Each structure stands twice: as C-alpha cells, then as structure tokens.
Chain A
Amino acid sequence: MKKLVARYFPLVILAGLSVGLAVYAPEFRTAGNLTSVMYRTAVVGIIATGQTLVILTGGIDLSVGSVAALCGMFAGLLMHDKGMPVPVAVFGGSALGMFCGIVNGSLVTKGRIPPFIVTLGMMMVARGATLLISGGLTKSGFPDSFALLGGGEGWWIPVGITLAISGTVGVSLAFTRFGRALYAIGGNLTSARLSGINVDRMRTAAYGLCGLLAGFGGVVLTSRTSVATPNAAEGMELDAIAACVIGGASLMGGEGGMAGTLAGALIMNVLVNFCNLKKYDVYWQMVLVGGLIVGLVFYDNYRKRKAGLLKE
C-alpha cells in the first residue's frame, strides 16, 4: 500500500489539491471552471507526453515549444494560403514535427552531440523558421471544421484526444519492447546496448515521437486559439519538462510515466487557475507556483526514498 501511494504520488497530490481547493474556493468547483482547466491542459499534456519518452531515455528536448509553434503555423499556412483541407493540414503539421524530432534524434545518436545542445539549436532554428514562413505575421481565417480539434464544439474533444494519446503511449510503455527498451536505456545505456537493444534506433524513435506529439500539440494550439502566431508556445518546453518531473520522472532517465506526467501538467494549471480565481497578485503568483513545484518534487522524492523506490 505504502509503495502504491508513493508510486502514484502525483495523482494523490492532484486529487488532494483539487478536493482541498474545491472546498476552500467555491468558484473552483464549478463545472465551467473545471472543464476550462482540463481543456487548457490538453496542449501541454500532449507535448509533455512526448517529452516523457525523451526524458525516460535520460535525454531532454528543449525544442518542443518552438516545434509546436512551427507546426501550428505550418498547418495554418497550408489551410490559409494553400487552401488545403483540414486533415491534410493536421497531418502535415504533425509530420513536420516528427521530421524535426528525427533530426534531433539522429544528431544525438549519430552525431554524438549532447541532447541539450542539439535541441537548444532546434529550438532556435524552429522559432526562426516559424518567423520566416509567416513573415512575422499572425495568420487566421481557417475553415470552421478546424476549430473542432481545439474544442470549438466542446471541451471533451481536446481532452479526449489527450487522454487517448496518453493512454496509448502509457500502454505501449508498459507492454511493448519499445517501452521496456526506453526504461532500460535510461536506467543504464551501456548495459541496455550489451543486452542487445538497438539503442540508437530506440532513442531516435523517442525523439521522433516527441517531435510528432509537439507538432500535433502545436496544431491543436492553433485550433484552440483560432490564430497561428509566430510567438506561440514560447516557454512551453519548460512547462512540459516540469510536468514530467512533477509527475515523478527523473531527469537522469529510467523513471516516469504517463499518468504522472498528465497529473503534473494538471497540477501546474490548477495552481495557476486557483491563484487567478483568488485574484492573487501576479508577481506573488509566480513566486508561489515556482516554490510549490519545487516543494512538491522534494516531498515526492523524500517519500520515494523512504518507501525504497529510489535507487541511490
């Protein structure tokens, strides 16, 4: 029991936080507010799902925010300038994200460049490319059906998509060779290689999937906001990484999971939402949320150590 609680601690925290806030702040527990928080978490949830795969291998992807902006803009341009149908734009945006991810993965594995540097470079390249293809301008005026994806017809569509993606990836992590390989690589890269895992291919695949989900997340973001802006998703890479870590992932690799990551993303948005509802001063909000995030991760690690779940 103790182990179980420790393992799913982020979910416990999220549940506790939500119940506590619902009792303390009546505005929080309204249906409108709860759905609003869930559906604004969709984009960062999708992107953080991909980020988790990379973090499991002991890597990091700093480019997801910029790649999301690039792909959201690309999809927007396909519809707006080229008159392409919606599915083509969604597919094109996601494919471009996957391409960026595979480039990241190849440079990390074949080029032997540290992930931090590769993805930092991609972060700048993708942001620059976004500005280039858009001419620095905001694009809008997409077909009505495109709004569906981001919740134009109801919040459950983006939330459902996020849960489906997170669930599929979560099941693959637990029950496929690919999933077990990622944990093994993050745990110990050399022994993973010696045990016959094609380490390079698995890592490249992790970056590729991360790029794919960043791209798709960017398309959902464009749909949600109804405009494609060149500065969209700025800083979202940090939100995504924070979601993984709050959700119990280790930046050293080998630890983390989908349920935790989604809980991590929700915890952050719930905290900000609560501060806004209570009308806390925005400067204090930043101090408060930042402090709480570090505190949560500290307490999580402390519990895990006591329950004997951490290696060391």
Chain B
Amino acid sequence: MKRLGLALLVLSVAAGCGQQQSGGAGDEAGAPDSGKLRIAVIPKGLSHQFWLTVKAGAEAAAKEFGAEIDWQGPAKETQVAKQISIVEDMVSSGVDAIVMAACDENALVRPVQKAMDAGIPVVTIDSGISSDIAVSFVATDNVEGGKTAARELARLIGEEGEVGLIPFVPGAATSEQREDGFLEGLKQFPNVKLVQTSYSQSDVAKGMSVTEDMMAGTPDLKGIFAANEPGAIGSAQALKASGKAGKIKLVAFDASNEEIAALKEGSIQALIVQNPYQMGYQGVKAAVDHLAGKPVEKRIDTGVTVVTMENFNEPDIQKLLFPGS
C-alpha cells in the first residue's frame, strides 16, 4: 500500500512537470498575412522587468518600421530546451526574422544555424551565442560599461585616492569584461589607485564581508565599484552598517529596486544602467535593415547610462529605471 502511494506520488509529480513544459510555444503561430514583416522576438524569460522593457523597445521599432512582433519565450532563463523548441517552431512557422537572447550560448548555436540555413536571419540581443553566425549582436558593451564606471568613480572621489573593485565570479565573461573596462578606464587617472579586487561570488553576504575587509585593510579607501547587483547590495549594506555610507563612494552596475533604494538613501552614489529598451529596438531595427538589404553592424552597443541623484528625476531616467510605469 505504502509503495503504491509512493508510486502515485512520483507519477503525479512527473505529470505536473510535464504539464508545465508543454503548451505555450508557437501554438498561435501561422496565419501568414498582409505582407507585413513578421519578426519573432524570443527573450530568455517572460516575467522580469528587464524583458518587459525589451518588449516595449521591440514593439516601438516594429511600429516604426511596419513589422509585426511575435513575442514568445521560456518562462525562466534556465529552460534552455524550451527555448530551443520555440526557435524551431518559429522557423517552421515561417517568420521573416528572429531576434533573440540566448539562454545558453552553446546550446542555441545549432538552432540559430538551422534558422539561418532556412533563410531566416537571426539577430541576438543581450546574451549572444558562442559563434558569430548571427547577423548582429545587440547588447551592452561591458568593457565600455566598466570604463564608464571608472570615470564616474574617479569623478566622485575628485580624481584622487585609493579604490576597490568587487567583480562577481572569477572567470565569468561579463564579470571579466567589466573588470577589464574598469582597469582600462582608471588608466586615465594617474592619482586613482586600485588597491584591491575581491569577488562577491554574486552573493550578498560575501559582498558585505569583502567590503568590510576592504575598509579594514585600507583605512583611506575612497571608493568602490561593485560590478553587479548582489555585490552592490552587499557593499551598500556594509557601508551603511559601518557609518561610511556617502564617505566611501560606491558605483554599482544595474538598477534593481534594492539598488535604486540604496541610491536614494545615499549608500550608492551612481548606478551604471543598461538599456534593455534599446536592445529590443535596435534588435528589431537590425533585423528589418538586414531584410531590406542594408548593411548591419556585426556588433551594436546599446550603451550604459550613469544615474545619480542629480539626474534621477529627469523623465528619460525615470523611464529607464521604471519602464513599466
């Protein structure tokens, strides 16, 4: 009896999983239409604010260039297999072009190749693939982002003093690009000295403890650049707890709700904000241009925006930080 119950449990769990996996994807594809270009836009996930902003940008471009958007994506960024089947469904439904952010840089190479072989150009946005077969890659140039952070931090500390760097994971591409950009950017400021690089491992608690160690090891620390969200939240928290908020300048990448709150209360002085709206817009524009036979840059940088309390209330910045409202 017990065993039967267990078996039933396993079965029902399996069935539950199955249900979640199926459905969705190109079900409502098809219906070729009035000669408007049909462009599939495939994000890595559906729920995050980031992707909703990408969608808004894609729709704006579609409206401007007379195209139609087919918005389909996996529910979560980890559902690689689901994303692959969505790409395949889009290919068989005969869209004119695909604009997508890859859930996995390797796993999506083959589906992209298949689409290109079928004569459907693919533009990657935000997260590219490990091969350069796509028409274009539209994303933040993280090296440039790192340089911008270095310039901003130097400005905040009066171009003089010792600073620390908190990248996230050693070996992760984005982390190293931002780190390289930051080092490159600091070269313009001979009086700013990077004294320490400590990784947050994308963990808020580690972000706190490495910041505390930096403060203890370098009593004269003037500023910190935290290269992603968890490290920034942890660093801001540590500065606040030790009463150094505002005295040690903190520049942070991205703009989560927690980071924006820290900016407002003064434990973060500047946010380096990516531009998902431009990723959607430029991605669709690149696809349309390519279909029209116009040349398209292989790599399009959507840029970063520096947000401080001085420009916080400007309408453009508000739109960038709170695209939903």
Give A residues with C-beta under 8 Å from B.
27-28, 30, 32-33, 36, 40, 43, 135-138, 140-141, 151-152, 221, 224-227, 229, 231-234, 269, 272-273, 276-279, 282-283
A224 to chain B, nearest CB (A): 7
Asked if B160 lies at the interface with its beta carbon under 8 angstroms from chain A, I say no
B 189-236 contacts with A by CB, 8 A: 195-199, 201-205, 208-210, 212-217, 219, 229-230, 233-234
A113 to chain B, nearest CB (A): 12
Within 8 Å by CB of A30, from B204, B216, B241, lies B216
Chain A residues near B256 (CB, 8 Å)? Answer: 138
B 75-91 contacts with A by CB, 8 A: 76-77
Within 8 Å by CB of B213, from A141, A234, A277, lies A277
**Pair A229/B76 contact, Cβ less than 8 Å:** no
**Pair A273/B258 contact, Cβ less than 8 Å:** no
Other A-B pairs, 19, CB within 8 Å; known A32-B242, A225-B204? A33-B216, A40-B205, A40-B209, A136-B76, A137-B48, A138-B229, A138-B258, A140-B257, A140-B258, A141-B261, A225-B234, A231-B202, A232-B204, A233-B205, A234-B201, A234-B203, A269-B209, A277-B213, A278-B217
Chain B residues near A151 (CB, 8 Å)? Answer: 241
Chain B residues near A27 (CB, 8 Å)? Answer: 216-217, 219
CA distance A176 to B197 in the complex (A): 49
Asked if B47 lies at the interface with its beta carbon under 8 angstroms from chain A, I say yes
**Pair B199/A282 contact, Cβ less than 8 Å:** yes
B 146-179 contacts with A by CB, 8 A: 170
- A-B CB contacts (within 8 Å), total count: 88
B163 to chain A, nearest CB (A): 13
Chain B residues near A279 (CB, 8 Å)? Answer: 195-196, 217
Q: A27-B217, A140-B261, A225-B204 are in contact. Are A276 and B198 (CB under 8 A)?
A: yes
A291 to chain B, nearest CB (A): 18
Chain A residues near B72 (CB, 8 Å)? Answer: none
CA distance A273 to B217 in the complex (A): 9
Chain B residues near A221 (CB, 8 Å)? Answer: 205
B63 to chain A, nearest CB (A): 30
**Pair A282/B198 contact, Cβ less than 8 Å:** yes
A111 to chain B, nearest CB (A): 10
B204 to chain A, nearest CB (A): 4
> Which among B76, B214, B233 has the greatest number of chain A C-beta atoms within 10 A?
B233
A184 to chain B, nearest CB (A): 30
Chain A's closest residue to B210 (CB) is A276
Chain B residues near A276 (CB, 8 Å)? Answer: 196, 198, 210, 213-214, 217
> Which among A36, A141, A269 has the greatest number of chain B C-beta atoms within 10 A?
A36
Chain A's closest residue to B230 (CB) is A229
Give B residues with C-beta under 8 Å from A.
47-48, 76-77, 170, 195-199, 201-205, 208-210, 212-217, 219, 229-230, 233-234, 237, 241-242, 256-258, 261
Q: What are 7 A-B contacts defined by CB distance under 8 Å?
A: A27-B219, A32-B215, A32-B242, A138-B230, A138-B257, A225-B233, A233-B205
CA distance A33 to B238 in the complex (A): 12
CA distance A211 to B213 in the complex (A): 30
B162 to chain A, nearest CB (A): 11
CA distance A282 to B217 in the complex (A): 15
Within 8 Å by CB of B233, from A141, A227, A273, lies A227
Chain A residues near B213 (CB, 8 Å)? Answer: 33, 36, 272-273, 276-277
Chain A's closest residue to B205 (CB) is A225
Chain B residues near A233 (CB, 8 Å)? Answer: 205
**Pair B205/A43 contact, Cβ less than 8 Å:** yes
B75 to chain A, nearest CB (A): 10
Chain B residues near A137 (CB, 8 Å)? Answer: 48
**Pair A36/B233 contact, Cβ less than 8 Å:** no
**Pair B217/A231 contact, Cβ less than 8 Å:** no
Q: A225-B204, A227-B204, A278-B217 are in contact. Are A36 and B209 (CB under 8 A)?
A: yes
CA distance A234 to B204 in the complex (A): 11
CA distance A273 to B215 in the complex (A): 11
The 9 residue pairs across chains A and B that have the minimum distance between CB atoms:
A276-B213, A33-B216, A277-B217, A225-B204, A36-B212, A40-B209, A140-B258, A279-B196, A27-B216
CA distance A229 to B234 in the complex (A): 11
A261 to chain B, nearest CB (A): 19
CA distance A40 to B203 in the complex (A): 13
Chain A's closest residue to B76 (CB) is A136
Q: A36-B209, A276-B198, A276-B217 are in contact. Are A231 and B47 (CB under 8 A)?
A: no
Chain B residues near A278 (CB, 8 Å)? Answer: 217
CA distance A151 to B217 in the complex (A): 22
A193 to chain B, nearest CB (A): 23
CA distance A279 to B214 in the complex (A): 9
